[in-house]
Amino acid sequence: MGSSGVSVDTDGAMQGEQTSLSFTTANWNTAWTVTVTDEADDDNAVSETVTLSHTATGGDYGSVSQELVVTVT
């Protein structure tokens, strides 16, 4: 049974855990919730812009959407 990994990698200037998800033939179509949090900093910014991106490699992933649906709470 093969697997495909998804990693959350923080910026080198950021602190945090590196987290990975593995999708297999048994769970590839199960919805996963991924929570990305940020610690408050001292720059007093009301809001900041970040970029979330993903890639899919191997297999026949040419039809995978490159858009992410993100809920900010």
pLDDT in tens, the chain (73 residues): 566 666 555 555 556 666 667 777 788 788 888 777 767 667 666 666 666 666 666 666 666 666 667 766 6
- Tell me if 13 is assigned to some domain: yes
State the virtual CA torsion across 19, 24, 30, 32 in degrees, nearest 10.
0
pTM: 0.44
- Tell me if 1 is assigned to some domain: no
- Tell me if 44 is assigned to some domain: yes
Nearest to 33 by CA among 64, 2, 55, 8: 8
Q: Give pLDDT, residue 60.
A: 67
- Tell me if 40 is assigned to some domain: yes
Query: What are 46's two structure tokens?
Result: 């009301």
First to last CA, the chain: 36
Number of domains in the chain: 1
Q: Domain containing 37: what range?
A: 6-72
CA–CA gap between residue 6 and residue 33 (Å, rounded): 13
- Tell me if 56 is assigned to some domain: yes
In 1-73, where do the E strands start and end? 3-8, 19-24
